Structure 1
């Protein structure tokens, strides 16, 4: 991407979009276009078409989505599939109509089958049933990926797709009922340490294994791919390393200085047993993660980021 190119970051106030904005500004990109969801409802096709016709961006980063954790995904199933289908369909189609030079679509590792072989290769997509708790969201994100593939195949559009693993970092959602696991644990153990609580409850059995990527590393990987990749195949973005939820809880407790008991609530859902991405395609393209988990979590805790970004709404539109 040229430094003077017009770049639209959809979802710039969300966790991923904010990281993209920080990186682009740091790298000297100044012609950045943004709109809040109040200024532009991406679910409104006419409004999106008008915006694209007026602004005519050269590059689009599609990081806007309705997002949430297991509870939110399972509770607001209609909202998650409807809103995300509309957002991606409108932005991708408008990008085609206005001749956007390149679009990067951010999917999610939850699009892969629940019991996919580990580590998960990109070609495992659509080879088995999805995790039931977030199936509507996953289907919407798969549809976005297939939209990009179809517009590339039919019209030659330079639309690329990436599949990030579990994320953490600045601007995360720390709502105790609806956040993702790393953010939920960061807040729980930070508050418990301050209050001197005797125990902290962690949802599930603690046995599922998860991979975690700092959101600044994700932004870095996406910029690398925007500059160096133009393939039809999706690209996994992660570290290629995982740990159990129990190990994650123990690590966060240590970093927060919490010495009480950790109690696992077996009545809460575990979700997918393991979700580790095969990142060999990404490594072959010349990018590796830079921020190790302990270092990244320590940064978030030191910044007390969870105090600044506690969302009380059930889901976020970013």
Structure 2
């Protein structure tokens, strides 16, 4: 992939896709293609096929997806599995048919078994039961990475898969019902601060542990893998450290400036007890995350304040 290559970023309006576009532009890539979901519905096979036939992208970052937190995944499982299966199947097939040189499929760490040994190695995939609260999304993502693997095996394509840990950063979704935990906490504590509330309620016990990767680090990793990695094996992308949700909430409250108390709603689910990725493989390839969690949350809160 060189600076003049025709690069398609699917999902460029989302948090991940927009970060990849920003990084490509900073690095001097001049021929980037993107279409909004209003212009191109990637769930529709004919639309995807026509787009690829017309544009013939040489390189594809498949970041388009329907995403959300525990509440959204629990409430709309049919939408999560259908939309994600259709998007990835249509793009991967169209990339093959139009001789795309290389494709990077972005999955999620939720593909791994709920009770996987920690830290989670790539080979633990399909080694146990999935977390029920996001099973539909996970099944779709597993299908996508397996589709890349099978096309490589049968047709000799160069389709790779990256599995990022929990993400946060600019252009995140801060909807309290459908967002992930970190942006939801930022919004809750900010609104509590400006409203002079004395208490913030958060879901669950706060004991689950999660790993958080800034989306700009993920964008850096995606481009690094596109330039430096080939193979059927998926690659974990993370920071190699985790934090309890309770400690995360305390950190976010401090950064936002909320001085009240934090109450736990024990009627709400915790999700997977722990999710920490083993990042030794990507480390051996030559990549490492650069943005620390405190600095990353500060930058994300600045983004939230600008947008809201």
Scaled by the length of structure 1, the TM-score of the pair is 0.96
Contact 1:40/1:48 (<8 A) preserved: yes
Q: Separation in 2 of the partners of 1:63 and 1:302?
A: 24
Q: Deviation per CA, 1:94-140: give whole Å up to 9, x if none.
A: 00000000000000000000000000000000000000011011000
Q: Separation in 2 of the partners of 1:22 and 1:215?
A: 11
Q: Separation in 2 of the partners of 1:79 and 1:11?
A: 17
Number of equivalent positions? 308
Contact 1:166/1:213 (<8 A) preserved: yes
What's the secondary structure of 2:278's corresponding residue? coil
What's the secondary structure of 1:200's corresponding residue? strand
Contact 1:199/1:262 (<8 A) preserved: yes
Offset of residue 307 of structure 1:
5.9
Q: Separation in 1 of the partners of 2:259 and 2:176?
A: 20
Contact 1:183/1:306 (<8 A) preserved: no
Match in the other structure for 2:67: 67
Q: Separation in 1 of the partners of 2:306 and 2:200?
A: 18
Match in the other structure for 2:182: 182
Is the counterpart of residue 238 in structure 1 residue 238 in structure 2? yes
Contact 1:174/1:306 (<8 A) preserved: no
Q: Deviation per CA, 1:38-91: give whole Å up to 9, x if none.
A: 111001101111110000000000000011110000110100001110000000
Pairwise CA RMSD of aligned residues? 0.8
Q: Deviation per CA, 1:18-40: give whole Å up to 9, x if none.
A: 00000000000010000001111
Q: Separation in 1 of the partners of 2:175 and 2:92?
A: 30
Q: Separation in 2 of the partners of 1:301 and 1:75?
A: 28
Contact 1:186/1:306 (<8 A) preserved: no
Q: Separation in 1 of the partners of 2:46 and 2:128?
A: 36
The residue correspondences of 1:150-229 to structure 2 (distance < 5 A) are: 150-229=150-229
Q: Separation in 2 of the partners of 1:137 and 1:4?
A: 35
Match in the other structure for 2:138: 138
Q: Separation in 1 of the partners of 2:12 and 2:268?
A: 32
Q: Deviation per CA, 1:268-305: give whole Å up to 9, x if none.
A: 010000000000001001111010000010112133x2
Offset of residue 306 of structure 1:
5.7
Higher RCO (C-alpha under 8 Å, 6+ residues apart):
1
